[in-house]
Amino acid sequence: MLEKTGVPEPEQVKKITPSEERFQKGPVAVVECFQNIPCDPCRYACRQGAIKEFEDINDLPVIDHELCNGCGLCISECPGLAIFVIDATYGKEEGLIKLPYEYLPLPGQEEEVTGIDTEGQAVCGARVVKVQNTKALDRTPVVTLAVPRQHLMRVRSFVRKGGE
């Protein structure tokens, strides 16, 4: 399905998903990179050494979730926008997703948005908690969304009111 639609199979996502035990320890990066292409900036962005050295530049990134502290420096370094950070410890009902966002205008803090999945389908209501857009992030804005906990591994982007 990935080759035809750009949407990964559930088995592919399951392989890269941190364990429930790891989710309960705090923020952790998830790398949804499923295509062997010459790319490795994520490895150099990780100061914790959680993204392992590639044997070949065409290899898929491998992340040691136990070494990851969820800092999110890797998010803006990924040219494929395939990295996000999940914090399942944010609250009883909500978790946080930090994700890259390359559209203008940027959303505002506390803005109500609709979380969407990899197919562009609406998943749930979400709230913008934070918007980061600094030179240190290579001018790739990183938006933090609060979403219902059960949708943390489904929401991959969002649309603003009016479909923006």
Contacts 24+ apart (CB under 8 A), 57-66: 60/33, 60/34, 60/35, 60/36, 61/31, 61/33, 63/16, 63/29, 63/30, 63/31, 65/18, 65/19, 65/22, 65/28, 65/29, 66/22
Q: Where are the beta strands (DSSP E) in 40-79?
A: none
Specify the pLDDT at position 2. Answer: 60
From first to last of its 164 residues, what are the pLDDT tens digits of the chain? 566 666 777 888 889 899 999 999 999 999 999 889 999 999 898 999 999 999 999 999 999 999 999 999 999 999 889 999 999 999 999 999 999 999 989 999 999 999 999 999 999 999 999 999 988 767 789 999 999 999 999 999 999 987 55
Q: Could you tell me which residues come within 8 angstroms of residue 106 by beta carbon, excluding any fewer than 6 positions away? A: 131, 133, 141, 143
Task: Report the pLDDT value the prediction gives residue 136, as an integer from 0 to 100.
Answer: 75
Task: Report CA dihedral (35, 51, 41, 36) to the nearest 10 degrees.
Answer: -10
CB 123 within 8 A of CB 155: yes
For residue 94, give both structure tokens.
Answer: 């909500």
Cα gap 22→6, rounded to integer Å: 28
